[in-house]
A = this chain, B = another copy of it.
Amino acid sequence: MSDSWISPEARLGKDVRTGWGVVVHPGVTVGEGSRIGDHCVLGLPPAEGRAEPLEIGPGSVIRSHNVLYGGSRFGPGLEVGHHALLRHGIVAGANLRVGSYSDIEPEAAIGDYCRFHGYVHVGRGSRIGHFVWLYSLVTLTNDPLPPSHLTRPPVLEDGVVVCVGATVMPGALLRKGAFVAAGSVADGEIPAGAVVRGNPGTVASHVSLLVHPESGLRHPWTEHFADAYPAEARERIARLGAEIAASRRVLKL
């Protein structure tokens, strides 16, 4: 059960499994133990014909109907849903998860352990730290006067959370652990740990004040959700949580 086209110039590690209808172009390296789903296309564009290397770390799971261009590099444990598009010039750290229908545009830089849900659009050149969450339909824009040749990609520091349907405007700078509420628009510099609400968004509170009354759970999530990450990430998560919690003292509301 395999009818695929794998270039002899691609390098698939030990125990890599590929599905049906998979196309792997020259210059692609897939780390050992990875799985490539049906109807995926790996490698080639932009300058079709010339093969830019695509590196996918070991232990990755690329589900069906995904497109990953040549010219990008993903750390170990990459997980991609279905129908996603990861273009060229992306550099991503360990254990990135990209949801179905998400589109990461060229030259994005992404840290370790980031989690993107579905329909996420990461605009060209975005800079994203570690442990960042982007929920469904989040858009990171980059043109401050559309359409123009100007490009001002946003910067999202470690531990930022952007909720469903929110938009991050060109040139925005979201400091550590900033939280953008559902459907809101974040622009300019957002202080560490700040909660942004509304369109245009304004700083409404600090994340440590976000509480779920029924359960008593509160932000930052680093206290009660670290177990959702691999064990080797936990110490970094604890440090990040302490920094975000500490930012409350300096946030002027």
Chain A interface residues (CB < 8 Å from chain B): 1, 3, 5, 19-21, 23, 35, 37-39, 41, 45, 48, 63-65, 67, 81-83, 85, 100-101, 103, 115, 118-119, 121, 133, 135-137, 139, 141, 144-150, 161, 163-165, 167, 169, 182-183, 185, 199, 210-212, 214-215, 217-219, 221, 224-225, 228
B1, B5, B139, B147: the one contacting A136 at CB < 8 Å is: B139
Distance, CA A165 to CA B139, complexed state (A): 9
Distance, CA A160 to CA B218, complexed state (A): 32
Q: Say yes or no: B85 contacts A115, CB within 8 Å.
A: no
User: Are A148 and B221 CB-contacts (below 8 A) given A20-B5, A182-B169?
Assistant: yes
| Contact partners of A19 in chain B: CB under 8 A | 23
| Contact partners of A45 in chain B: CB under 8 A | 63
| Contact partners of A5 in chain B: CB under 8 A | 1, 3, 20
Distance, CA A63 to CA B69, complexed state (A): 12
Q: Say yes or no: A212 contacts B145, CB within 8 Å.
A: yes
Q: Say yes or no: B161 contacts A225, CB within 8 Å.
A: no
Distance, CA A155 to CA B226, complexed state (A): 29
B38, B41, B82: the one contacting A85 at CB < 8 Å is: B82
Query: Which secondary structure dominates where chain A touches chain B?
Result: loop
| Contact partners of A136 in chain B: CB under 8 A | 121, 139, 141
Distance, CA A221 to CA B212, complexed state (A): 37
Distance, CA A165 to CA B185, complexed state (A): 11
Q: Say yes or no: A228 contacts B149, CB within 8 Å.
A: yes
Q: Say yes or no: A21 contacts B1, CB within 8 Å.
A: no
User: Which single residue of chain B is at the shortest CB-CB distance from A171?
Assistant: B214
User: Which single residue of chain B is at the shortest CB-CB distance from A17?
Assistant: B48
User: Which single residue of chain B is at the shortest CB-CB distance from A45?
Assistant: B63
Q: Say yes or no: A224 contacts B23, CB within 8 Å.
A: no
User: Are A164 and B141 CB-contacts (below 8 A) given A20-B5, A100-B85, A185-B182?
Assistant: yes
| Contact partners of A41 in chain B: CB under 8 A | 20, 37-39, 64-65
Distance, CA A5 to CA B149, complexed state (A): 41
